[in-house]
Amino acid sequence: MNYCKKAMYIRILIISLFSALLTSCADEPVIHDIQFKLMYGENSISCGTAMQINGQSWQLSQFQFYIHALQFRSQGQWVPATFEVPENNDPHVKLIGGVCNSNFDWKMTVKSPVAPKNIDAVQFKIGVPFELNHNNPLTQKSPLNQSDMFWVWQTGHKFLRLELTSETNDWIYHLGSTGCHSESAVRAPAKACKNPNVATVRIDVNELKTIGIDIKPLFEGIDLNSESSCKSEPANELCKHLLERTGLNSNSTIFKSL
């Protein structure tokens, strides 16, 4: 082999190794820390914050919800992301929020092959996958073992739990599956529920750092009281509005990039 051919082969080898190195680096998972911020309109809220809703002052009692099926969009392609959780937690779901006078968790750490600068949208589902939704909460891993986020085996988990209180009244919104059929309330259904009630959230982003949750649109046109509360009943007209605004039949109107 003459000198020119040998030099050409060496150059090709170097280029191939360099390309492989770049590909390997591009495929390495990236850790993303994403913060959620609870809001009422343009103002951030927490326990003790007074919200004027239809002329009455309300305060937060609790707000928590499960998310799964997290994806990032990059160059027109949706790429799945995975939750970074402790070893004793279920890796498929993440519980965001909490209960007043207790702990809140507004942050999720996730892993993805997509670099932050290349993400132009994020999507996730509010709910619990069917294959996990109706299992015994006493034997499930955290956060699916949280009793206050579970109805019964037949209907499964409360996907979202929002509760408010005023001086004279309480108001609740519990999102979960309905129309679930099994032999009894303490038996899991063999088939998917008639109304899975899993909501979809899709947000366009310039930089994925903080996701705002503006609950104000939920209450538009609703007179809050115990009678207007919602536990995802199919015949409840107020529930239909709440479920749609959460993202049941279209994209949610309460989540936004900050």
**pLDDT tens, 125-179?**
999 999 999 999 999 999 999 999 999 999 999 999 999 999 999 999 999 999 9
* Percent of the chain whose pLDDT exceeds 90: 78
In a domain, 10, yes or no: no
Query: What is the span of the domain harbouring residue 241?
Result: 29-257
What size, in residues, is the chain? 258
Q: In terms of Cα–Cα distance, which of 106, 110, 107, 109 is closest to 79?
A: 110
Q: Is the Cβ–Cβ distance between 197 and 98 less than 8 Å?
A: no
**C-alpha to C-alpha distances, 228 to 84, 120, 159, 171, nearest whole angstrom:** 38, 38, 19, 7
Q: How many CB atoms lie within 10 A of CB 208?
A: 21
pLDDT given for residue 19 in this prediction: 43
- How far is residue 97 CA from its own chain's centroid? 10
Tell me the CA distances in angstroms from 119 to 72, 79, 110, 122, one per residue in order: 6, 10, 13, 8
Rounded to two decimals, the pTM is 0.87
| Number of domains making up the chain | 1
Is 246 among the domain residues? yes
Residue 8 lies in a domain: no
Q: Is residue 3 part of a domain?
A: no
What is the chain's mean pLDDT, rounded?
89
